[in-house]
Amino acid sequence: MSVVVRRVRADEWRRARDLRLEAVRDPAARIAFLHSYEEEAAREDAFWQSRARGAAVGAEVAQFVAESGEDWVGTLSVLRREAGTPDHHGRIVETPRADVVGVYVRPDSRGEGTIEALFDAAAQWTRRLGDGSLMLDVHVDNVRAQAAYRRCGFAETGLRFTGSIGPELEMAFALDADAAGEGK
Ligand X SMILES: CC(C)(COP(=O)(O)OP(=O)(O)OC[C@H]1O[C@@H](n2cnc3c(N)ncnc32)[C@H](O)[C@@H]1OP(=O)(O)O)[C@@H](O)C(=O)NCCC(=O)NCCS
* Interacting residue ranges for ligand X, rule: CB under 6 A: 26, 28, 32, 103-105, 110-111, 114-115, 138, 142-145, 147-148, 151
Nearest approach, Cβ of 181 to ligand X (angstroms)?
28
Minimum distance, C-beta of residue 148 to ligand X, in the bound complex (Å): 4
* Residue placing its CB nearer to ligand X in the complex, 147 or 159: 147
CB of 139 to ligand X, least distance (A): 7
Q: Of the two residues 14 and 151, which places its CB atom closer to ligand X in the complex?
A: 151
Q: What is the 3-state secondary structure (H, E, C) of the chain?
A: CCCEEEECCHHHHHHHHHHHHHHCCCCCHHHCCCCCHHHHHCCCHHHHHHHHHHHHCCCCEEEEEEEECCEEEEEEEEEEECCCCECCCCCECCCCEEEEEEEEECHHHCCCCHHHHHHHHHHHHHHHCCCCEEEEEEECCCHHHHHHHHHCCCEEEEEEEEECCEEEEEEEEECCHHHCCCCC
CB closer to ligand X out of 27 and 181: 27
Q: At its nearest, how many Å lie between ligand X and the CB of residue 80?
A: 18
Separation in Å, CA 10 to CA 31, 73, 81, 175: 29, 18, 21, 27
Closer of 26 and 170 to ligand X (Cβ) = 26
Least Cβ distance, residue 152 to ligand X (angstroms)? 8
- Taking the least distance from each CB to ligand X, the nearer of 26 and 129 is 26
